[in-house]
Structure 1
Amino acid sequence: MVYLQLFKGLADGSVFVKDSNGYRALEDELIDIEYWTNHKHRLLAELNMPLLSMSITTLLSRLEASLEQKYIDVNQRIETGENAALKLRYNKRKELVKWTLPYVRLDDGINNPFYEKLPVSGIGDVLRFVDEQTDFLAAFTHLQPKYAKSIPEAEVLNACILANATGLETKKMKDISDIKEKDLDNVNKNFQRSQTLSAASDVIMNHTAKLPIFNQYNLSDYGVHASVDGQKFTTRYNTIKSRYSKKYFGTMRGLVMYTLSANHMPLCLKVIGANEHESHFLLDIVESNTSDVEVTAVSGDMHSINRVNFALMNLFGYKFMPRFTQIAETANNRLVGFNNVSSYEKYILKPSKQVDKALIIKEWDNILRILVSLALKQTTQSQVVRKLSSFKTNATLKALIALDQIMMSDYLLDYIDSQEMRSVVQASLCRGESYHQLSGTIAKVSGGKSLRGKNEIELDIAAESIRLIANAVIFYNATLLAYLYQFYLKAEPDKANKISRLSPVAWQHISFIGKYEFYNRRVSINIQEVIDYFMSDSEINFLAAA
């Protein structure tokens, strides 16, 4: 019974182990209280986060004005029929029984028929072309630079990246390519690290962002709209992160590749256990983006929502815009308002709970301490968010949750009111799913959908290698589309607009299998020749692009 109670206490946060990594008290994860008291104003000034520097009364006044006006406007548009998507159902006494808000899944646009006319290129040729355009292989530095006597050949680096991404052993890569095994082993040990792979991906993405077509991928006028989602992979070996999940892996073990995607590109990823909740890593992964692409808004499915993510994301300067399922039930049970609940009775959309402003104001200093500790990354952000979103609440956590409910209510009303917003959210999630299909295709090259790696380091390398290959494919496709976009922009703007709506996530014209010839320098992709070949036969099928 004692062990059972300890197990329950560790799970719900009522029992702590000070010397552990995951089960310390929240207090132990935060800035020392004495240091916070003495240096609070300096820390807030250094962070340059406007909402944290604002007084809590001013912040609450802004939130109240926005939320209360939305209750009026949103309900008015429902009553007048302007919100045509929302369907009301009444009984015989003309009393509202329920309302529904259906949404239509958008086509993810991958492997558009547009790409069928392109000549098939080997993945080795694509990697060589991308390196010629971006010099991404320069990001691969030696593990011990002062002992490095020579720079590895680009062909060997490309072979190692492909071997790690597809789960091929170096011995097998030697048999199906023109690379020597000793060269593969040397480069794999000294140059292939998750840090260098991530840096190489950043180089490719930064060049993709400079293409003239990139801004056309923006889903809205407020900036880059990203999405987060986890992709499940089985693992060939048992590791600490590999866990059982009957739903996803059957009798095998696996893990999750949690990816932040924006404008078709995978900006960054984290390998997490299948037992961990994806919402705990939302702020962490958005803050981990090291590319030049600045994210303004982030969408996710229901797995991205917890008790505090709306507050954390908004206070850190991001728009958190998840897709809700069972939207009517969520709105009926989770909307809050600043006034007494009885004052909203005439509305169709109305709060079920009143905001405790006094508690938020009272606990604001403690909330600030949590937020600044997160911003300074005193510890892993996911650890703090896990404690905030799952452990038993005290007054400070109740206040933070109350603030989260205000911001979630504000977003929910917008989400119900705006068809355009729902379309943008759905489109961003479809783009993330498109990347998952591409990454799954890369991982399955060697048979099966398993990540090769005997420990966490090797699993991270495999995941980052998949992301790097995917970024190379996306850059190649985006370059082709950018040439066509500029060609038609002045002469035929309508065609240019249709080209800008084509997804660069496509691989039907790229061969991932076969015998790899990395040293075949005579075969190098000439982008102009590809364009000329493409346009020589017949008219482009722009109907498919629309």
Structure 2
Amino acid sequence: MGDLEKVLGNRKAGVGEVRLSEKGELIIPPLSAEDVPAEAAALRDELSELLPLTPIASLLVELDRRTGFLDCLTHAGGKQSRTPELKRNLLAVLIANATNLGLVRMAEACGISYDILAWTQEWYIREETLAAANAAIVNYHHRLPMTQVFGGGTLSSSDGQRFPVQGKSITARVMKKYFAGQGLSTYTHVSDQHSTFGTKVIVVTRREAQYVLDEMMGNKTDLPITEHTTDTHGVTLVNFALFDLVGMQLSPRIQDLGKITLYRMDLQRDVGRLWPVAGPLLTQKIMELIEENWDDLLRLAASIKFGHATASLIVGKLSASSRQNTLAVALKEYGALRRTVYVARYLADETYRRKIARQLNKGESLHSLRRDLHYAHQGKIRERFLAGQTEQAWCLTVLTNSVVTWTSEYYGLAIAQMRAEGRAVDDELLAHISPAHSENVNYHGGGRSARRGAAGNSRRASGRSVMPRWSCQLRPRRKTARKSEIDRLVDLEMQVPSRRIWRPFFAGCGESAVLWVPEGTGEEAAGKAAAHSVGHVCTPLEKFEEQAAVGDALSPTRQEGCRGGLSRLVAVGPPDT
């Protein structure tokens, strides 16, 4: 209150500063946009150019060698011998769930039978095993030197992300503000190092404040979280009280902060004499229930901290309790007192306000990355039951943290190389760079990676595809399917008629791709097709060579399959990649 008294007592306060109006009302202007140096944006673009372009499967294989997170996915029946193909199957299931592709589409895309993928998911993919795998990735990310530039791991935030639901589900609800139909929400907890350490599927119409403390108490990572921030939806008086009782600080961003009631413990005249300017804002006096019920409040906090009761259950029950419940009233009064202390600090310290806003923005950037990864089927959740939805949400969290960890590690390697060459790179610039993006990750399959290599991408060390051998075998596109915009563009440039004899064109990406183009097509036009076309047929190169040897490569069946547009044959990289 002393710092707030100094701020409000400043007669020369500007338009953008916290001040009192002539009527004594509190005026809280919004924060101005944070100045991001132009050098930080240029450095981020330069780092992205230095990083390689990698398929999501190769990224996960590389990360598993460093963290061993796939070993956390154990068999539900106990210790079992792990076959050499098990990790391959686990990666396929993780990618299928995280990208929303589904096991059926993944079986068609990777050559692994649906039965094997379904068995793997049934016995190895569970909430507890996925949480353990995610903790292994977060702990490794926390130990990276580059990660310390983003933050110390002591601050976190939480927010809900809405996803539409396809079909009927017991957790889906109608909310016209976000969905045309029904949807659900995934509530995630994010650290100041851009890592996600908690995920929970909740009903979209239920208030998020019930679940804020759950993942804080269930944090199984090495992150030393001591302070947590959220938006208005995650704030209640009960949360303010419980956070303080368990030894943590709740620092939310509250909407219409100037309209909330502030509390005092002493008489109004005593408070006004101590703080002449800020004292009149404390309009309500708390009762004496806190001291009378202090032992019960400590027992309640201990029950939450040691896992005897979940925080969501206690917060939900006590927030809805009437004033006849003495313990609930005492807890809310203590929460009101802690909220008053928080508001005084929030209004007096602009740096504190900016720290909260910066952390919430980190959560939003991770939401954007999750949305990019969860692209198939228009991002609609198709699981009907809560268990399956929770497993899919955790698979998406594992992939999101994998991308963030891989990007952070390679950022660190690139920065180390720059500094070794004598270039000065300030840590203050690096603090403005976020690893929560997928510009250097191909999560759509081998086709786009091969096309990028064919186009002469400078980031690739070689033209060879880096997808593992099992990620092949896409179904041919049906004749009745509508052409994509890219197909129509390529057809227009090449002036492709509806019926032609097709010939194979090796697209210049080593032994990784064969592109089918009309007979008589020039090399330049075929090169453009290799850079822009969408792969429709994907078979190993050796199979293509066998077909060519028996004269079947340009059979009428093959020509008929290519009539709808361009078709590619992609041979994937060797197993050691």
Task: Choose 238-247 or 254-263, whichever is displaced more.
Answer: 238-247
Give 1:106 deviation, angstroms: 5.0
**Is the 1:176–1:515 contact (alpha carbons within 8 Å) kept by the matching residues of 2?**
no
Decide which of 461, 468, 472 is 1:519's aligned counterpart: 468
Structure 1 window deviating more from structure 2 (110-119 vs 378-387): it is 110-119
Q: Which has the larger radius of gyration?
A: 2
The one of 31, 34, 44 aligned to 1:103? 31
CA contact (8 A) 1:452 1:462 kept: no
1:180 correspondence with 2:113: yes
**What is the distance in 1 between the residues matched to 2:435 and 2:12?**
36
Find the partner of 1:255 among 168, 179, 184. Answer: 184
Contact 2:265 2:285 in 1 (8 A): yes
Read off the aligned partner of 1:255 and give its amino acid letter.
Answer: L
Q: Secondary structure at the match of 2:177?
A: helix
Match of 2:123 in 1: 190
Higher helix share: 1
Cα 1:249–1:270 change in 2 (3 A) is: same
Is contact 2:304-2:311 (8 Å) kept?
yes
Task: Give the AA of the match of 2:327.
Answer: T
**1:242, 1:513 → 2: CA distance?**
28
**Match status 1:385 vs 2:308:** no
Q: In the alignment, which residue of structure 1 is the partner of 2:6?
A: 76
Residues 399 and 496 of structure 1, relative CA distance in 2, 3 Å threshold: closer
Moved more, 470-479 or 505-514: 505-514
Deviation (angstroms), 1:254 = 1.6
Give 1:142-161 correspondences, 5 Å limit.
142-146=75-79, 150=83, 152-161=85-94
Matches within 5 A, 1:3-402: 70=1, 72-80=2-10, 85-88=16-19, 90-91=21-22, 95-96=23-24, 98-104=26-32, 113-114=45-46, 116-117=48-49, 118-146=51-79, 150=83, 152-218=85-151, 224-250=154-180, 252-262=181-191, 263-330=193-260, 334-345=261-272, 346-348=276-278, 350-356=281-287, 358-393=288-323, 394-402=325-333
Q: Which amino acid aligns with 1:441?
A: D
Indicate how the Cα distance of structure 1 residues 280 and 90 shifts in structure 2: closer, same or farther if over 3 A, else same: closer
**Greater displacement, 258-267 / 395-404:** 395-404
Deviation digits for residues 487-520 of structure 1, max 9, x if unmatched?
4567545445423431111102211113488533
Q: 1:156: how far off?
A: 1.7
The alpha-carbon deviation at position 389 of structure 1 amounts to: 1.2
Distance in 1, Cα, partners of 2:26 & 2:245: 34
Structure 1 unaligned runs (5+)? 1-69, 523-546
* Distance in 1 between residues matched to 2:304 and 2:311, nearest whole Å: 6
Confirm whether residue 429 of structure 1 aligns to residue 360 of structure 2: yes
Q: Could you list the per-position Cα deviations for residues 103-124 of structure 1 after superposition, in whole angstroms to 9, with x for gaps in the alignment?
A: 1355999995345414422111
Q: Is the 2:230–2:252 Cα contact (8 Å) retained in structure 1?
A: yes
> 1:310: Cα distance to partner?
0.8
Q: Structure 1 residues 362, 146: CA separation in 2 closer, same or farther (over 3 Å shift)?
A: closer
Q: TM-score, normalised by structure 2?
A: 0.71
What amino acid maps onto 2:183 in structure 1? G
Matches within 5 A, 1:439-478: 439-444=370-375, 446-478=376-408
> Per-residue displacement from partner, 1:396-447 (whole Å, max 9, x unpaired)?
2211111111111111010001110001000110001111111111112x13
| Residues 55-78 of structure 1 deviation map (CA, whole Å, 9 limit, x = unaligned) | xxxxxxxxxxxxxxx2x3311232
Q: CA deviation at 1:452?
A: 2.9
Q: Do the aligned partners of residues 397 and 82 (structure 1) sit closer, same or farther apart at CA in structure 2, a change above 3 Å counting?
A: farther
Query: Contact conserved, 1:279 with 1:304, CA < 8 A, in 2?
Result: yes
Which whole-Å deviations, capped at 9, do the CAs of 1:33-85 have from their partners, x for residues lacking one?
xxxxxxxxxxxxxxxxxxxxxxxxxxxxxxxxxxxxx2x33112322368754
Q: C-alpha separation between the residues in 1 aligned to 2:419 and 2:363?
A: 28
Higher RCO, 1 or 2 (CA under 8 Å, sep at least 6)? 1
Judge conservation of contact 1:142–1:148 (CA < 8 Å) in 2: no
Distance 1:359 1:519, change over 3 A: same
Q: How far off its partner does 1:143 sit?
A: 1.5
CA deviation string 1:231-252 (max 9, x = no partner): 11122242322222222223x2
Q: Please list the CA deviations of residues 330-384 of structure 1 after superposition, one character each: whole Å capped at 9, or x if unmatched.
A: 2xxx21112212444532462011122x321112223233223323333332111
1:273 CA drift (Å): 0.9
Distance 1:274 1:107 in 2: 35
Distance 1:288 1:460 in 2: 16
Among candidates 317, 332, 343, match of residue 412 of structure 1: 343
When residues 469 and 176 of structure 1 are mapped into structure 2, their CA distance, relative to the original with a 3 A threshold, is same
Number of the residue aligned with 1:52: none
Letter in 1 for 2:118: D
Partner amino acid for 1:363? N
Whether the 8 Å contact between 1:75 and 1:348 is mirrored in structure 2 is yes
1:466 shift after superposition: 0.3
User: Which SS does the other structure have where 1:352 is aligned?
Assistant: strand
**CA separation of 1:124 and 1:82: change in aligned 2, threshold 3 A:** farther
2: distance between equivalents of 1:412 and 1:90? 18
Asked if structure 1 preserves the Cα contact closer than 8 Å seen for 2:170 and 2:384, the reply is: no
For 2:416 and 2:28, the matched residues in 1 are separated by 43
2 CA distance for matches of 1:406 and 1:329? Answer: 16
After TM superposition, the score normalised by the length of structure 1 is 0.75
Q: Which whole-Å CA distance do the structure 1 matches of 2:116 and 2:470 have between them?
A: 18
Q: Does the 8 Å CA contact 2:369/2:438 hold for their aligned counterparts?
A: yes
For these two proteins, the number of residue pairs brought into alignment is 440
The Cα shift of 1:391 comes to 2.0
Instruction: Report the Cα distance in structure 1 between the residues aligned to 2:127 and 2:35, rounded to whole angstroms.
Output: 33
Q: Which amino acid aligns with 1:338?
A: M
1: distance between equivalents of 2:321 and 2:304? 17
Would the alpha carbon gap of residues 146 and 324 (structure 1) be closer, same or farther in structure 2, given more than 3 Å must change? Answer: closer
Q: CA deviation at 1:521?
A: 9.2
Q: CA deviation at 1:88?
A: 3.9
Root-mean-square deviation (Å):
2.7
Q: Aligned-pair distance for 1:151? A: 5.7
- Counterpart CA distance in 2 for 1:194 and 1:291 is 15
Q: Secondary structure at the match of 1:231?
A: strand
